[in-house]
């Protein structure tokens, strides 16, 4: 009897334990299948299925001759699956570290990193991929594969590189580490260059390998288009070499050189100092990355005199032989004395041709007074001052040209000589190019065409006329007068190129330091074109605060660089001298002002 009771008790105890065990299992199953179901299913799906991005190859940027300025080269991201490594592969780890350029300790750590704790600290998750290195070349990756280390493999990517380094850096721009286009052509043409990424659905086995037979949907990537620029790498090289010479000789705060075709507005070269290497953009400061040609404002000085002289000629108010008394310190205007600016040299009577050639401030002031405020302002606007040039890159500023109702009593005599106005290098370059282009102002451009991988043209960027500024006759008359600047007796004989008609204008202006004009800080410039009677090139050289004893005149610091660049380009581009046709007198007079005024609006 007692034995029976003991047996029943033991049986009940066993049953209780069994039921408790199954209850615990059931409770755990309910917890996993009900309360944690969504999270677990999600984790399983992540482990089994994934969508792999198939990166598109970014289009190339090429110069006008097809030379590569920017290209995306295939590279490999190398990593390891720590759960696939073998003990027998450990002796190969130092060789792997050497190929990757990593410390052995870092490679060993990656091989041993098999788990990671979740962010909430509740779960330890297995690690199936640890990155070892980015940007590994195809050749190095092949050497890594020859080591035969199980679990080490790579994913192919594209890395943007710039073969020219700093060549045309402010034009090309760059792609940052987040694959974002930051500036220049890279940013402006990003829509065409970036292409369209594809994707592929994949399933993996327990070891992380792809089960190709279970591939799902797949969208192939579409590579980006190529962008062909008007920039010529050879011309750009000449310009940057001359810019380096300027920096070595004068150590300026900044400098800009622009070369363009006046008939089309296409930029052949554009360089700034300081500059930076596109392949090491992350080490360059922001000031070096600024495109000074379109962002920096300065008073142009005497290069601006083309506005007043062209306007007076265009309206028939003067001809090249019209004479003004430049010895006067003041003239009577509207019943009161109007003070005139001073000149570097003392002059008596000067013709309009001599005012241009000798760059007389008082002569320019006489022309401004003759024009009057409204007509002077209208022509300045027509030449593109006080407004953006339309150059496609971001960051361009409009400069400073105050409306007439904001002028003070001196503006009418100071504006014609390039004071009381702020311009960018691109603005003054475009204004001079309008004279070279028979009076038509063009939009400056660097993009020529978009092509696909097979060389088919997708889009073309034709020259764009902004407006006619002065008549064809006036432009040619003005070009003839500007030749006097580079002749003996002019302000820039150092810009003359033997055997060629060179037309241009010097500029020297005092910088404003602490609200006052400085006698020791200047911006010197020379902007010109040749051959004058059939212009092929416009070249601007602007040097900010050259360091030298005495005044940094444009004729001293900028004009010789114009000549040096011009002589190289004559040989490279095969430019021939052109005999200048005789220039006749301008037709028309004050009565045709209304017609001209309508034209320049």
* Residue 266 in domain: yes
Average pLDDT score, the chain: 88
Minimum mean pLDDT among 85-99, 230-244, 496-510: which range? 85-99
pLDDT at 539: 98
What percent of the chain is modeled with pLDDT above 90?
63
pLDDT at 216: 59
pLDDT at 119: 62
Classify burial at 63, counting beta carbons within 10 Å of its beta carbon; exposed 0-12, middle 13-18, buried 19 or more.
Answer: buried
Handedness of CA 203, 205, 206, 208 (dihedral sign): negative
Identify which of 334, 358, 330 has the alpha carbon closest to the alpha carbon of residue 506.
Answer: 358
Alpha carbon distance 305, 363 (integer Å): 10
Binned at pLDDT 50, 70 and 90, residue 600 comes out as very low
Residue range 14-41: mean pLDDT, rounded: 77
Task: Between 361 and 8, name the one with better pLDDT.
Answer: 361
Report in angstroms the alpha-carbon separations of 84 from 79, 153, 212, 263: 12, 11, 19, 66
- What contacts 411, CB < 8 A, 6 or more positions away? 373, 402, 420
* Residue 374 in domain: yes
Minimum mean pLDDT among 21-35, 93-107, 280-294, 573-587: which range? 573-587
Q: Do the beta carbons of residue 460 and residue 479 sit within 8 Å?
A: no
pLDDT at 601: 32
pLDDT at 285: 92
Binned at pLDDT 50, 70 and 90, residue 48 comes out as low
Long-range residue pairs from 508-512, CB within 8 A, at least 24 positions apart, any chain: 508/301, 508/302, 508/551, 508/552, 508/553, 508/554, 508/555, 509/298, 509/299, 509/300, 509/301, 509/302, 509/418, 509/419, 510/299, 511/298, 511/299, 511/544, 511/545, 512/299
Residue range 570-588: mean pLDDT, rounded: 64
Residue 359 has which token pair? 């760059």
Number of domains in the chain: 1
Q: Write out the H or E segment, with its range, that includes residue 185.
A: helix 184-188
* Residue 81 in domain: no
- What contacts 115, CB < 8 A, 6 or more positions away? 124, 125, 126, 127
pLDDT at 53 over 90: no
* Residue 587 in domain: yes
CATH number assigned to the domain comprising residue 424: 3.40.710.10
Q: Write out the H or E segment, with its range, that includes residue 522.
A: strand 516-530
Alpha carbon distance 414, 422 (integer Å): 12
Q: What torsion do the CA atoms of 485, 490, 491, 497 make, to the nearest 10 degrees?
A: 60
pLDDT at 209: 53
Report in angstroms the alpha-carbon separations of 526 from 86, 170, 304: 71, 21, 11
Alpha carbon distance 145, 511 (integer Å): 62
Q: What is the pTM of this model?
A: 0.82
Distance of CA 437 to the CA centre of its chain: 25
Identify which of 107, 393, 394 has the alpha carbon closest to the alpha carbon of residue 229.
Answer: 393
pLDDT in tens, 300-316: 999 999 999 999 999 99
Query: Helices (H) and strands (E) in the chain — how many of each?
Result: 21, 23
pLDDT in tens, 56-98: 899 999 999 999 999 998 888 888 888 888 888 888 889 999 9
Within 63-164, residue ranges assigned H as helices are 93-100, 104-112, 138-146
Handedness of CA 479, 558, 444, 263 (dihedral sign): positive
Phi, psi torsion values for 456, nearest 5 degrees: -75, 140
Classify burial at 485, counting beta carbons within 10 Å of its beta carbon; exposed 0-12, middle 13-18, buried 19 or more.
Answer: buried
pLDDT in tens, 404-447: 999 999 999 999 999 999 999 999 999 999 999 999 999 999 99
pLDDT at 487: 95
Q: Do the beta carbons of residue 226 and residue 60 sit within 8 Å?
A: yes
Minimum mean pLDDT among 315-324, 464-473, 504-513: which range? 504-513
Please name every residue paired with 200 in a beta bridge, in sequence order, or none if there are none. 52, 218
What percent of the chain is modeled with pLDDT above 70?
89
Identify which of 600, 525, 583 has the alpha carbon closest to the alpha carbon of residue 371.
Answer: 600
Phi, psi torsion values for 308, nearest 5 degrees: -65, -45
Residue position matching structure tokens 């407004």: 387
Alpha carbon distance 573, 530 (integer Å): 13
pLDDT at 534 over 80: yes
pLDDT at 594: 32
pLDDT in tens, 246-268: 999 999 999 999 999 999 999 99
* Residue 64 in domain: no
* Residue 315 in domain: yes
Q: Do the beta carbons of residue 262 and residue 433 sit within 8 Å?
A: yes
Q: Say whether 517 sits in a helix, a strand or coil.
A: strand
Binned at pLDDT 50, 70 and 90, residue 226 comes out as very high
* Residue 465 in domain: yes
Task: Between 208 and 386, name the one with better pLDDT.
Answer: 386
Binned at pLDDT 50, 70 and 90, residue 124 comes out as low
* Residue 54 in domain: no
Domain hosting residue 589, numbered range:
233-600
Alpha carbon distance 557, 243 (integer Å): 11
């Amino acid at each position: 009897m007692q034995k029976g009771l003991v047996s029943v008790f033991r049986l009940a105890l066993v049953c209780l334990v069994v039921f408790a065990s199954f209850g615990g299992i059931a409770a755990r199953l309910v917890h996993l299948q009900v309360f944690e179901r969504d999270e677990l299913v999600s984790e399983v799906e992540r482990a089994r299925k994934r969508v792999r991005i198939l990166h598109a190859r970014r289009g190339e940027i090429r110069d006008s001759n097809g030379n590569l300025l920017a290209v995306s080269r295939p590279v490999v991201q190398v990593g390891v699956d720590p759960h696939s490594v073998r003990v027998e592969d450990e002796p190969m780890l130092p060789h792997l570290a050497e190929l990757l350029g990593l410390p052995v300790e870092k490679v060993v750590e990656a091989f041993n990193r098999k788990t990671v704790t979740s962010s909430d600290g509740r779960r330890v998750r297995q690690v199936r991929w640890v990155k070892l290195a980015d940007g590994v070349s195809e050749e190095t990756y092949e050497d890594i594969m020859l080591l035969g280390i199980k679990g080490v493999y790579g994913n192919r990517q594209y890395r943007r590189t710039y073969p020219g380094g700093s060549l045309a850096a402010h034009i090309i721009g760059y792609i940052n580490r987040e694959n974002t286009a930051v500036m220049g052509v890279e940013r402006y043409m990003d829509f065409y260059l970036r292409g369209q990424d594809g994707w592929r659905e994949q399933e993996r086995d327990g070891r992380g390998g792809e089960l190709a037979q279970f591939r799902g949907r797949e969208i192939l990537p579409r590579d980006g288009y190529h962008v062909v620029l008007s920039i010529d790498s050879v011309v750009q090289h000449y310009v940057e070499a001359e810019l380096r010479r300027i920096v070595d000789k004068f150590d300026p705060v900044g400098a800009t050189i622009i070369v363009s075709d006046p008939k089309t507005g296409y930029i052949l070269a554009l360089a700034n100092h300081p500059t930076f290497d596109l392949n090491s953009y992350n080490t360059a400061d922001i000031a070096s990355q600024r495109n000074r040609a379109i962002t920096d404002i300065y008073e142009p000085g005497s290069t601006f005199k083309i506005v007043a002289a062209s306007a007076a000629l265009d309206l028939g108010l003067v001809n090249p032989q019209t004479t003004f008394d430049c010895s006067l310190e003041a003239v009577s205007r509207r019943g009161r004395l109007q003070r005139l600016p001073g000149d570097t040299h003392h002059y008596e009577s000067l013709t309009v041709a001599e005012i241009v050639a000798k760059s007389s401030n008082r002569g320019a002031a006489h022309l401004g007074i003759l024009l009057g405020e409204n007509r002077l302002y209208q022509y300045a606007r027509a030449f593109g001052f006080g407004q953006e040039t339309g150059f496609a890159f971001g960051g361009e500023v409009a400069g400073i040209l105050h409306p007439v109702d904001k002028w003070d009593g001196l503006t009418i005599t100071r504006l014609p000589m390039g004071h009381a106005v702020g311009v960018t290098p691109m603005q003054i370059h475009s204004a001079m190019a309008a004279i070279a282009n028979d009076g038509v102002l063009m939009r400056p451009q660097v993009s020529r065409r978009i092509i696909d991988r097979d060389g088919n043209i997708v889009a073309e960027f034709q020259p764009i006329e902004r407006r006619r500024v002065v008549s064809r006759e006036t432009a040619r008359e003005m070009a003839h007068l500007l030749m006097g600047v580079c002749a003996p007796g002019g302000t820039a004989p150092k810009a003359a190129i033997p055997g060629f008609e060179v037309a241009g204008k010097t500029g020297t202006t005092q910088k404003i330091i602490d609200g006052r004009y400085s006698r020791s800080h200047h911006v010197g410039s020379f902007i010109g074109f040749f051959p004058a009677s059939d212009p092929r090139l416009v070249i601007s050289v602007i040097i900010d605060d050259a360091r030298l004893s005495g005044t940094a005149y444009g004729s001293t610091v900028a004009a010789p660089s114009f000549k040096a660049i011009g002589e190289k380009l004559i040989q490279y581009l095969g430019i021939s001298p052109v005999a200048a046709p005789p220039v006749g007198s301008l037709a028309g007079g004050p009565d045709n002002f209304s017609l001209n005024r309508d034209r320049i609006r």
